[in-house]
Copies of this chain bind each other. A is one copy, B any other.
Amino acid sequence: MSVTIYDVARRAGVGIGTVSRAINGSPQIRPETKQRVMDAIRELGYTPHTMAKRLATKRIGIIAAIMPFYTGHFYQELLRGIQKSLTEFEYDLLVHFVDKPEKLNAYLDRTLSEKRCDGLLVISMDIPEEYVDQLQNARLPVVVVDRGHDRLDCIQVENERGAYLATQHLIRFGHHKIGMISGNRHSEPAKQRYQGYARAMREAGLTVKPEWFISADMLETTPKIQQNDGFNIHAGRVAMKRLLQMGEERPTAIFAASDILAIGAMRAANEAGLRIPDDLAVIGFDDIELADYLSLTTMQQPMYEMGKMAVDRIMEKIEAETEEVRQFRLTTRLIERSSTRQAGR
């Protein structure tokens, strides 16, 4: 029914091999012949059948990405970067959003058992050990994004260092009582940011009071507070409220592990009648659109670049068929706005 290269070949009075050469820009063809073929293609309205081509070349032309169902600028920018790079390689993006960890396993099973993509991007998720082996056996190129991994290629932001610098920024302004608000602690980035915070405090000779650290998993287990892995505005607000109950003992500055948490914290502070940065200094992490809007000082993450690099790397792996594993780290940048300033004392 649909027009194939045979139809084109007949029409142009050539063999199908010639048609194929014409389509794929092979140099092994006389310009006039090519022209004839192209004319026939136009006249017939021929369009190549992608699946047949893929079967023959064994190259799928698709990269799959698995990522959590979180809202937000972070993933949006990451996707932008991924898309940008992919387009240049003329590859398509198959996305799969996952809400529960079990679904990740199910999807990995499917990906493994049906060769539907040339490479896989696993974003902000931890791959169960058993699947790591399977992935390697299947020789499917994988790049882990926004997480570290010792056996797979990965690319992430320097979370520890970013948190360290953020905390240092607060310290430089004379703050001694610095608290931290975080999403759930179990994820790698969350842990690393805590460590950066703690290290900055230690090196400055400041004590890290356990009461000054609040993470979403220490709060209520309502869906509202726990959504997005605890990195949401409500968690930030509730955490800050808790901190504020300490009265005189409360921190004078807060390092929030994400901008959205910082915004929730600022809100709670405002509700308590505190002004920012005079009564409380706040620094975030991400640099989302709202951060600029609310004059929130923050550590900017190069999300767009991370997306691009992830694709570049996976394409490299696909083309080189290399088994070599490489881990990348991108640096963060301090964006100073007016939510941080000299401590009041």
Residues of B within 8 A of A50 (CB): 114-116
Chain B residue with the shortest CB-CB distance to A45: B137
Chain B residue with the shortest CB-CB distance to A54: B51
Cβ B48 vs Cβ A114 within 8 A: yes
Residues of B within 8 A of A232 (CB): 289
Sample of 10 further A-B pairs with CB below 8 A, known A51-B60, A92-B94: A47-B115, A50-B114, A50-B115, A51-B55, A83-B97, A92-B96, A92-B116, A233-B289, A233-B290, A234-B293
Is A52 part of the binding interface, using a Cβ–Cβ cutoff of 8 Å? yes
Report the minimum CB–CB distance from A185 to chain B (whole Å): 22
Is A112 part of the binding interface, using a Cβ–Cβ cutoff of 8 Å? yes
Please encode chain A, from 284 to 298, with 1 for each CB lying within 8 Å of some chain B CB and 0 for all others: 000001100100000
Which of A10-18, A28-36, A73-81, A125-133 has 4 or more CB atoms under 8 Å from chain B?
Answer: A73-81
Given contacts A80-B69, A93-B95, A97-B79, contact A52 B55 (CB under 8 A): yes
Report the minimum CB–CB distance from A230 to chain B (whole Å): 14
Cβ A233 vs Cβ B293 within 8 A: yes
Chain B residue with the shortest CB-CB distance to A228: B289
Is A24 part of the binding interface, using a Cβ–Cβ cutoff of 8 Å? no
Chain B residue with the shortest CB-CB distance to A294: B267
A289 CA / B115 CA spacing, docked (Å): 38
Cβ B83 vs Cβ A114 within 8 A: no
Q: Hey, which bits of chain A sit against chain B, CB under 8 A? A: 47-52, 54-55, 60, 62, 69, 71-73, 76, 79-80, 83, 92-97, 112-116, 232-234, 267, 289-290, 293
11 pairs, A vs B, C-beta closer than 8 Å = A47-B112, A48-B114, A49-B114, A49-B115, A51-B51, A55-B55, A62-B94, A79-B97, A80-B97, A92-B96, A93-B95
Residues of B within 8 A of A54 (CB): 51
Residues of B within 8 A of A69 (CB): 76, 80
Chain B residue with the shortest CB-CB distance to A288: B71
Chain B residue with the shortest CB-CB distance to A233: B293
A114's partner among B47, B112, B293 (CB-CB below 8 A) is B47
Chain B residue with the shortest CB-CB distance to A103: B87
Residues of B within 8 A of A116 (CB): 50, 92
Residues of B within 8 A of A72 (CB): 71
Cβ A48 vs Cβ B113 within 8 A: yes
A232 CA / B54 CA spacing, docked (Å): 42
Residues of B within 8 A of A76 (CB): 69, 71
A52 CA / B289 CA spacing, docked (Å): 45
Report the minimum CB–CB distance from A278 to chain B (whole Å): 18
Which of A48, A62, A94, A289 has the most B CB atoms < 10 Å from its CB?
Answer: A289
Residues of B within 8 A of A80 (CB): 69, 97
Cβ B94 vs Cβ A94 within 8 A: yes
Residues of B within 8 A of A55 (CB): 49, 51-52, 55
Residues of B within 8 A of A95 (CB): 93, 95
Residues of B within 8 A of A73 (CB): 71
Residues of B within 8 A of A93 (CB): 94-96
Chain B residue with the shortest CB-CB distance to A112: B47
Minimum-distance CB pairs A-B, first 5: A50-B114, A51-B54, A47-B113, A71-B76, A51-B55
Report the minimum CB–CB distance from A168 to chain B (whole Å): 30
